[in-house]
Chain A
Amino acid sequence: MLRVDSYPTHEYEGMKLRPGHVLPFGATIVEGGVNFSISSSNATSCSLALFRRHEPEPYVVIPFNDGFRIGDVFAMIVYDLDYEDTEYGYIFDGPNDFTAGHWFDPTKILIDPYTKIISGRGVWGEGSQEDGELRPLRSRILQNDFDWQGDAPLETPFEDLVIYEMHVRGQTAHPSSGVKYPGTFAAVREKIPYLKDLGINAVELLPIYEFDEFENWRYSPDGSTKLMNYWGYSTVGFFAPKAGFAATGHLGMQADEFKTLVRDLHGNGLEVLLDVVFNHTAEGNENGPYISFRGIDNKTYYMLTPDGWYYNFSGTGNTLNCNNPVVRNMILDCLRYWASEYHIDGFRFDLASILGRDQTGAPMDSPPLLENLAFDPVLGKCKLIAEAWDAGGMYQVGTFPSWGRWCEWNGKYRDDVRRFLRGDPGMTWVTAQGMQGSPHIYDPRYRGNCASVNFITAHDGFTMMDLFTYNEKQNLANGEDNRDGSNDNYSWDCRVPGATEEETNALRRKMVKNALTILLTSLGVPMLLAGDEFGNSQRGNNNTYCQDNDISWLNWEDLERNRDIFEYAQKLIALRKSRRCLRSPSSDHGDTKNGYPPVSYHGVEPWKADMNGKMLGMMFCGDDDFVYVGMNMHWEGNDFGLPDLPGGFYWSMYVASDEAVTDKGDGAVYVTPRSTMIMTATKDPRP
């Protein structure tokens, strides 16, 4: 049936128009045309600039006349647009008064904050025009009608997740990856069989919102390569997938390509979590470019000092004004869009503490944005993971407002376990806490058993192999005289006096296995950094944000070189999946049916933990399910006595990080220096 609003009411320079629908914001295909809607609380006028693809000048600039404005929203339908060949931008006018926080400039063409795809960086690293200038970033119109073929978000119980943190480009950009279109969503899709084989069941993707890889680009200190905005923690468009991550990005099909990846990951039982960056944008500080928000409504979108300067709680020049109601709604709209249109299963919020600051930057008790996200119906089944700190000094690990919904990257777990692993004394108690989901930080009565996302390594910091290869970060290649990156790494180069190079390397591999053992047997949700499963190295660089090269790309040849580490990781993940007692403690219900506590600590003698030593045994018990993890971080070997089991159960060794670990058969296991082992028991008769 034809609709009345499929007919124009106005005309401007040959373009047929009609007052638009104010909602939804953004560019939406409607009968016969495209509905454009955008808001600004402080603008005096707005125009829509339409471009043919790749053309420098607009072919028409259409002002929104008064009849096209409701409240602060400018809305207009433009008919007969060839939407695939159209790029658009907005021009706003209004006060330009620094102290008052207004930056309106009618010479700037701005990206739509709600644009669903962006052109200008369609192929990674190729942004130049003929004159050498970078292509302008422009909004484009997306036909949102992907054929999901029955797919839906997986809603995997949180306690069952094994997360794999991955950079889309870094995963396959290296020539050794053996994929057809390296560095793309399509290439990750080719690697799904590998991910399944490893056993993980969720990928957490470093930022895939459109960003500009050329932001602050420069040559490396030795001039051999370009240092890029590789990680992409600097959003240009919150609703747009990164075109340069799509092999079809030059055709504008990045949304379809990413959705295809999500659909196939789901089809193989893998959830998709996105690392999202709502704390700041790519517009930088007072010297940064006009891209979008600054020219549309600076005072609304950014936290400003009373004198109009940008607050810098993000460490990157500006801070998004997350608890302004307009911005809050945009963030909510954005996450709803990704959850519904892309079937995303969950989000990890970069520097999430900023989301809990008010418009003056002060921390809030019950931040409305965080509460909105916790209770939003569209996000009702999404995982919400906070990086519970910011660059302005807030550190909320354990105290992030949660409403029983939010969980956290557990930075304390990372630091405590690293120190235990390298043999610092007195770390057994905190490690034991960490391995049971950190109840000393997250009271299970309020936070449940899965508030802790456990990790030992993440993109930000050393890889696991580097953690045991370097005492200090090696960041000279970043061109900042090794000042960037964390100095608190709790790492160890594994050099023991008198050891040969071969012995040192063997110890490093064993330490990686020790770390994997602890990570994958800890209660809570484990997160593995991509590549750690085969000993990937970044040559000691602990801040590879700008390294779009083989420093940060996974080298798949390591998979063969370090096959033993991969198989070890695989075995641990399989154990975690098969043993409920490692995933969901029944501590809420007291002891197990055999009278054992769900989690218990032990020393070299069962039930006698040494909370100041370097040796620890952890036993996890279900009703008919026992797992014992023995960890000897001392430089000498020791016998570990195993706890007695109920009748009919027998311990047997599941895996050990060192072949010389020996089950002595008399209820004790000899654990070699700096080694870990796992014993399991079921009711099966002793083999």
Chain B
Amino acid sequence: MNIEESHVEDVRIVKLTGKMDVIGSRTVQDALIPSISAGGKLIIDMTDCGYVASSGLRVLLIAAKQAALVGCRAVLSGVQPLVWDVIVMTGFEGVLATYPTQADAIAELG
């Protein structure tokens, strides 16, 4: 799992590349969760993440809960169709707002 961070103005973009299996998910969790901060804006870009295991879904869910707790606006972008199906079928779809592309997400948060 490769994690690339960037900023567009005050929006923090975390781009995930690779598989969110147990190891990948742990990497994402360590990089993502502690830095979710009050008043922040966060895009989790999943364009290049083709596999999300149960642990990966849980990291996304925990990110959403943490963001809601501290008052950070967190969204997903670029979720691949098969990954999205898994998110829907396991009941996570209402947890984070989702946008087709990173640009759409920036437009929403910016």
Contact = CB atoms under 8 A, between A and B. Distances in A.
Q: Count chain A CB atoms within 10 A of each CB in B21, B53, B86, B89 and give the residue with the most.
A: B89
B23 A181 contact: no
A661 interface: no
A260 B94 CA distance: 12
B90 A256 contact: yes
Interface residues of A, number: 27
Contacts of A5: none
Interface in B68-91: 85-86, 88-91
Contacts of A336: none
Given A143-B58, A257-B90, A260-B90, A247 B85 contact: yes
B54 to A, nearest CB: 5
A78 B92 CA distance: 30
B91 A259 contact: yes
Nearest to A261: B91
Contact of B90 (A85, A149, A253): A253
Contacts of B85: 180-181, 247
A161 to B, nearest CB: 25
A140 to B, nearest CB: 10
Given A247-B85, A251-B86, A253-B86, A84 B91 contact: no
Given A251-B54, A253-B54, A256-B54, A84 B89 contact: no
A560 interface: no
B55 interface: yes
A264 B23 CA distance: 31
B22 interface: yes
A263 interface: yes
A652 to B, nearest CB: 45
Contacts of B1: none
A248 B61 contact: no
A85 B21 contact: yes
A248 B91 contact: no
Interface string A594-627: 0000000000000000000000000000000000
Given A186-B89, A256-B91, A147 B61 contact: yes
B91 A83 contact: no
Given A84-B22, A147-B95, A260-B89, A251 B53 contact: yes
Interface in A555-611: none
B85 to A, nearest CB: 7
Contacts of B57: 253, 256
Contacts of B53: 84, 251-252
Contacts of B89: 181, 184-186, 189, 246-248, 253, 257, 260
A443 interface: no
Interface string A250-292: 0111001101100110000000000000000000000000000
B55 A143 contact: yes
Contacts of B90: 248, 253, 256-257, 260
A248 B86 contact: yes
Nearest to A84: B22
A253 B22 CA distance: 14
Contacts of A684: none
Interface in A73-102: 82-85
B67 to A, nearest CB: 14
Contacts of B58: 143, 145
A247 B89 CA distance: 8
A149 B61 CA distance: 12
Interface in B22-42: 22-23
B62 to A, nearest CB: 9
Contacts of A181: 85, 89
Interface string A417-441: 0000000000000000000000000
B3 to A, nearest CB: 19
A76 to B, nearest CB: 21
Interface string A180-219: 1100111001000000000000000000000000000000
Contacts of A257: 89-91
B23 A252 contact: no
A246 B21 CA distance: 19
Nearest to B90: A256
A32 to B, nearest CB: 13
The 7 A-B pairs of least Cβ separation, nearest first, read: A260-B91, A256-B90, A186-B89, A84-B22, A82-B22, A257-B89, A253-B90
Given A143-B55, A248-B86, A260-B89, 6 more contacts: A84-B21, A147-B92, A247-B85, A247-B89, A252-B54, A253-B57
Interface of B: 21-23, 53-55, 57-58, 61, 85-86, 88-92, 94-95
7 contacts: A82-B23, A83-B22, A85-B22, A143-B58, A147-B95, A246-B89, A251-B53
